[in-house]
Structure 1
């Protein structure tokens, strides 16, 4: 175990020396990787923020459960007990028929309702599910529609379905872009390592004459590609952070026009770690392919 750690530590030091020996090339490579990865990274972050903004503007989706006109207090209490026992509900509130009528009158329909002799509105429960999954809304509505004394269940999930569909399309496009750019970055690292192998071919030949094994020779190149990719991931994080800072004020002003309080958020530590790890993996992958391709003929 100690020998394994020593060999990898030696390889890391060797790779760092190679990176520091050519600062301009290292910087340019990191910029290429970082700018390329900032596009899908920023796009995915933008989608998450758009979803949060849309929910803040449109409000929380709800389910309206209307009772039969002849439902009495006992039936209402039984339905309320069922709602309390439903784990998928975050909250609910009862709206009596008299309260619903007053809300309609306050909304400017008093003249229309003034000619009615009886209140035509039923008692209702307004439900707020714990999640905004459209499939959950439909399952709950189907189950509740079969409850006794429930006349109708109305879903407020049409905009949720549209939002989920748009976000799904956006995430698919971002993942496709990430795949294409990732493939391009593997090619960039492939060529970089190829040039490293060509410039060190005499050193590699001498190492082999001294008894160095192929894993020993390959290990510094793997770390070189991984560290170069990780540096590009850090550049990508910085680019995304600068973009968030630049767009924060305009996005906040746009949200205020819709009466929403919203602040554009940057990537959390998990997203930041994922970006750096993905960039390091791309660098390692390009290095591994290049080493296996060119070291055998060196």
Structure 2
């Protein structure tokens, strides 16, 4: 066990020494990895903040439930009970047909004068808890089945458009992440391949004296891990800097609309996910490059 630990510690000491001797080239690789991870991460943070803003928007979707003209007081009481007990409704408001007729006479006296009687029904105006288009449509279809209900309208077109744009943005982030992830594997693989080429003679000598593939592969895999860790650190610094700069303008814009909205910085889950992805991709690029090099050194 002690021998195994010493082997790994020796590899890490040699790796850190090599990184220190080649500080500039290592920093360049870290920056490439950091930028490749930073771009989709920043877009994801912005879309996630917009998604939360959509859920807190003041222009909340409203469902209008119009009763039949012959609906009696019993039907109205039954609807009130349903609305009070319904888990998907945040609040509701009742407007009687008499109140609606009075407002119409005050606001549109010419139209009201041309009507012989009140054509307006009793109505309930509902505010759903969940603003997702699917939840609003489900609540609308449910309200249409209630007794005494004549017609139901859902003012959720803006929510559908917004959520469709956010969904499109998430797909764009996913595609960009896949493309940059592939590019990252290629970049790390090419970097490790160049390192292997400069140490080819050392590797050949090590093979002659009985070094295993695992022993030869180990320092290059550790180098990939270091590249991934350094690149994720650069990416996190870039994200925090970009979001902070964006917030200077976002705060001014929000103040014009009487809001205190600012872009939230990424949480620890996103930071951890970025670090893991960077390390895994860098390790994968190193693994592929080393295996290809070993295959050439050990032709069948």
Normalising by structure 1, we get a TM-score of 0.85
Whether 1:269 aligns to 2:298 is no
After superposition, the Cα gap between the structure-2 partners of 1:84 and 1:6, relative to the gap in structure 1 and judged at 3 Å, is: farther
After superposition, the Cα gap between the structure-2 partners of 1:81 and 1:8, relative to the gap in structure 1 and judged at 3 Å, is: farther
Q: Any idea what SS the aligned residue of 2:150 has?
A: strand
Query: What are the ranges of 5 or more consecutive residues in structure 2 without an aligned counterpart?
Result: none
Following superposition, the deviation at residue 176 of structure 1 comes to: 1.8
Q: CA RMSD in A?
A: 3.0
Aligned residues: 296
Q: Work out the CA distance in 2 between the residues paired with 1:231 and 1:99.
A: 70
Following superposition, the deviation at residue 203 of structure 1 comes to: 2.9
CA contact (8 A) 2:83 2:89 kept: no
Q: Work out the CA distance in 1 between the residues paired with 2:61 and 2:102.
A: 19
Q: Work out the CA distance in 2 between the residues paired with 1:131 and 1:155.
A: 13
What is the aligned partner in structure 2 of residue 109 from structure 1? 107
Summarize deviations over 1:240-292 as a string: whole Å, max 9, x none. 11111111121122223334331122211111111222111221111111011
| Farther-moved stretch of structure 1 (24-33 vs 128-137) | 128-137
Query: What are the ranges of 5 or more consecutive residues in structure 1 without an aligned counterpart?
Result: none
CA contact (8 A) 1:57 1:260 kept: no
CA contact (8 A) 1:134 1:160 kept: yes
For residues 14-93 of structure 1, what are the structure 2 equivalents within 5 Å?
14-57=14-57, 59-87=59-87, 89-93=88-92
What is the aligned partner in structure 2 of residue 240 from structure 1? 239
CA contact (8 A) 1:194 1:291 kept: yes
CA contact (8 A) 1:57 1:258 kept: no
Q: Any idea what SS the aligned residue of 1:220 has?
A: helix
Q: Any idea what SS the aligned residue of 1:127 has?
A: strand
What is the aligned partner in structure 1 of residue 220 from structure 2? 221
CA contact (8 A) 2:83 2:92 kept: no
Q: Work out the CA distance in 2 between the residues paired with 1:119 and 1:2.
A: 93
CA contact (8 A) 1:64 1:126 kept: yes
| Farther-moved stretch of structure 1 (22-31 vs 75-84) | 75-84
Summarize deviations over 1:61-85 as a string: whole Å, max 9, x none. 2322222233333222322333344
Normalising by structure 2, we get a TM-score of 0.85
After superposition, the Cα gap between the structure-2 partners of 1:229 and 1:69, relative to the gap in structure 1 and judged at 3 Å, is: same
Following superposition, the deviation at residue 57 of structure 1 comes to: 4.9
Following superposition, the deviation at residue 21 of structure 1 comes to: 3.2
Q: Work out the CA distance in 1 between the residues paired with 2:109 and 2:159.
A: 34
| Farther-moved stretch of structure 1 (150-159 vs 74-83) | 74-83
Q: Any idea what SS the aligned residue of 2:138 has?
A: helix
What is the aligned partner in structure 2 of residue 185 from structure 1? 184
Q: Any idea what SS the aligned residue of 1:251 has?
A: helix
Q: Work out the CA distance in 2 between the residues paired with 1:131 and 1:91.
A: 9
CA contact (8 A) 1:65 1:125 kept: yes
Q: Any idea what SS the aligned residue of 1:263 has?
A: coil
Following superposition, the deviation at residue 198 of structure 1 comes to: 1.8
CA contact (8 A) 1:97 1:119 kept: no
